Structure 1
Amino acid sequence: MTIQDLKSQNLILFEVISGSKSFGLDTPTSDTDIKGVFYLPKEKFYGLDYIPQVANETNDEVYYEIGRFVELLLKNNPNILEILATPEDCILYKHPLMERLRLEDFLSKLCKDTFAGYAVTQIKKARGLKKKIVNPMAKEKKSLLDFCYILQGYVSIPLRQWLNERNYQQERCGLINLSNSRDMFALFYDVEGNLGYKGIIQKESSNEVSLSSIPKGEAPVVYLSCNKDGYSKYCKEYTEYWNWIDKRNEDRYQTNQQHGKNYDSKNMMHTIRLLQTAEQILSTGKLNIRVLNRAELLAIKSGEKEYDELLRLADQLIISIDNYYKTSILPDYPDEKKGLETLIDIRKSLYS
């Protein structure tokens, strides 16, 4: 089922302009995001072909089946509550049955976890993104050899350096485990290349060193330490970094580079907005998504604020949210029974 199917079959119950335009944070370059609610034709709803969500390819138009919409309202999902709280000037269509879903019936203290919890997740994400921006990784991937070191007296030197200084080949090295020593090996070298040593690694992508059979009486040349934990951490960060490079929004990245603050400014703007929204819900018991501090938030988006300053603001908001949570008049959770009764009544009206 496509969005066009929803429209041609008159299945849409609610349709709004969401995102920056509904928040009052749009600029001339802002996209128009559309969100909505629909119901399924009776045969699909009563059959096996339940469809909870329909979206376009770019995911900037998303419609939720009425049951899924109520389910997420009961979980105090920020995106879904914000759809229900859309200002009148951003509502494109509203079926009379949608009047039965009242925002005040769903707001609860759970918003502390959903709004503020999501914002904290975004702060962690922003910290990780800042690390990627500040510390770019070379495209050529390191191998396990780069995490091996030769012990010489009281110091260690990189394995590659040690091999180069002696004009040795790693393929002619042989290793055996040292008992009671984690990731420590005795290294032997086959000058003639006829002892059948397996080398330190079999191939550049190896995650483990190779062990060899050593002739009896052969003396080790040196001892080798392999930092396998460091290599595993590097491989994870390498994969994350180059996946980010492949998938990043190039326009946003260039904007972040231009303002020179080394963080995703748009992400941080929405993080602060979410925390301020959580504070509003818990302090007033209401949700108004049209922001009153447009200039402040757009200044964050344009990179006018320092990263550490934004983290301090976030910490202050989290403390404020915790304090308002203790005195909030909101219920701990939405009234699930009432929400389900409303959903059933809406379905009965649709399918009667």
Structure 2
Amino acid sequence: MDRIIGQIAADGELNEMGVYKLKDFKKLLDTEEYKFLKEHPRLGNRIMLLGVGGSYAYGTDYENSDIDFRGITLNLPSDLLGLTKFEQYEDRKTDTVIYSFNKMIRLLLECNPNTCEILGLEKEGYVILSELGQELLDNRSLFLTKRAAKSFGGYAQAQIRRLQNAIARDSMPQAQREQHILNSVQNSLEEFHRHFASFDKGSIRLYIDRAENPQFETEIFVDANYRHLPLRDYENMWGVMRSVVSSYDKIGKRGKKDDNHLNKHAMHTIRLFMMAIDILEKGEICTRRTKEQGLLLKIRNGGFRKEDGGFLPEYFDILSDYEQRMERASKESALPEEPDMEKVEAFVEYVNRKALEV
């Protein structure tokens, strides 16, 4: 892969930012590493669109940035009329993920950030774009609703917790760290209850008391009381809390690599708010953040870090400003609360009828 990227760099044309034009990535499609795109029965001429992902999509790439692709492929007739099921294709060697059309629609209806961004690339960001793919791009407004505030905001809050957890775990005494974990878990539970608005099956109480674990001074305890709670909701709730505790406990002292990860978390937090504000204010998905590139790169390169490993107050001022802007944009947005399912279903049926003919 390094050889291929080097060849692209040798043949490519630099733009004003010193980044090779996205169109040069099309050359990768003819290499041995990417032959699966043409040969796999679920891909080939069934691919609706395929575009760059990650830093190249956001405009935060640098010389050693990884190349990854994200795309959408039509479901097979057997998926639509028979018994086969298909959600996505992944090639880990090239970091390529291609969603089935039907799964993509479900994610878009929730304004899922990772899938919304696939529909917001610049034209040059698409290395494959079929007629149906273009029609999907032309109809992306069908999926833009005020749900973006919760979806993008939820992802951003998860990034913020990662920052808080990583910084706190190195500097706080155990008892204070336990309180920090409790706060993070409670925040996660609030998001869970917001997602399940009709959640009325019982109650849960989290609190700190003298530890039973001899290695701790104090630890978090739980009192839970539920009746007639769907098992999947129960599993989801505990999964959310387990994820917070696990991510907090499994990382030890930070090294240079961990600092880089923290910087990326900090950058993506701001980027998520930027994208959400565009959707809510303008009804547009803008994945490549050209105007804010300088700010995002400064964050990623550690420009807002303190010597002790924390973040400067200026970063949190910026973060607070974007949070407030998103909250205001959500209240004032002209977007509907929910998607027009009649129009969505008509479009999905139209595409899937076409899929039967491919």
Short-chain TM bin: 0.5 to 0.7
1:59–1:120 Cα change, 3 Å: farther
Instruction: Output the amino acid matched with 1:281.
Output: I
Question: Which residue of 2 is the match for residue 285 of structure 1?
Answer: 283
Gaps in structure 2 of 5+ consecutive residues: 1-35, 175-208, 222-241, 306-310
Query: SS of the counterpart of 2:251?
Result: helix
Residue of structure 1 aligned with 2:45, choices 3, 10, 13: 10
Question: Which residue of 2 is the match for residue 342 of structure 1?
Answer: 347
Once the two structures are superposed, the pairs formed by residues 16-95 of structure 1 within 5 Å of their partners are: 16-57=51-92, 60-95=95-130
Q: Distance in 2 between matches of 1:293 and 1:239?
A: 33
Question: Which residue of 1 is the match for residue 13 of structure 2?
Answer: none
Q: Distance in 1 between matches of 2:91 and 2:257?
A: 22
Query: SS of the counterpart of 1:289?
Result: coil
Once the two structures are superposed, the pairs formed by residues 1-352 of structure 1 within 5 Å of their partners are: 5-6=40-41, 9-57=44-92, 60-101=95-136, 102-134=139-171, 230=218, 243-245=250-252, 252-253=257-258, 255=260, 264-291=262-289, 292-306=291-305, 307=311, 308-352=313-357
Query: SS of the counterpart of 1:35?
Result: strand
Report which of the two structures shows the higher radius of gyration computed on alpha carbons.
1
Maintained 8 Å contact 2:165/2:248? no
Maintained 8 Å contact 1:100/1:342? no
Instruction: Output the amino acid matched with 1:290.
Output: R
Gaps in structure 1 of 5+ consecutive residues: 138-182, 185-206, 209-225, 257-263
Q: Which has the higher helix share?
A: 2
Q: Distance in 2 between matches of 1:44 and 1:73?
A: 20
TM-score when scaled to structure 1?
A: 0.64
Q: Distance in 2 between matches of 1:290 and 1:326?
A: 25
Deviations 1:125-178 (A, max 9, x none): 2101112344699xxxxxxxxxxxxxxxxxxxxxxxxxxxxxxxxxxxxxxxxx
Deviations 1:83-128 (A, max 9, x none): 0111111100111012322222221111111112210121012101
Deviations 1:171-204 (A, max 9, x none): xxxxxxxxxxxx99xxxxxxxxxxxxxxxxxxxx
1:230–1:110 Cα change, 3 Å: same
Instruction: Output the amino acid matched with 1:38.
Output: T
Q: Distance in 1 between matches of 2:70 and 2:77?
A: 22
Instruction: Output the amino acid matched with 1:52.
Output: E
How much does 1:254 deviate?
Answer: 5.7
Q: Distance in 2 between matches of 1:245 and 1:56?
A: 30
Deviations 1:240-267 (A, max 9, x none): 5563359x9x7632646xxxxxxx0111
Maintained 8 Å contact 2:121/2:287? yes
Maintained 8 Å contact 1:112/1:321? yes
Maintained 8 Å contact 2:42/2:73? no
Percent identity of paired positions between Structure 1 and Structure 2: 25
Q: Distance in 2 between matches of 1:305 and 1:275?
A: 18
1:322–1:98 Cα change, 3 Å: same
Query: SS of the counterpart of 1:321?
Result: helix
Q: Distance in 1 between matches of 2:130 and 2:85?
A: 21
Q: Distance in 1 between matches of 2:271 and 2:165?
A: 20
TM-score when scaled to structure 2?
A: 0.63
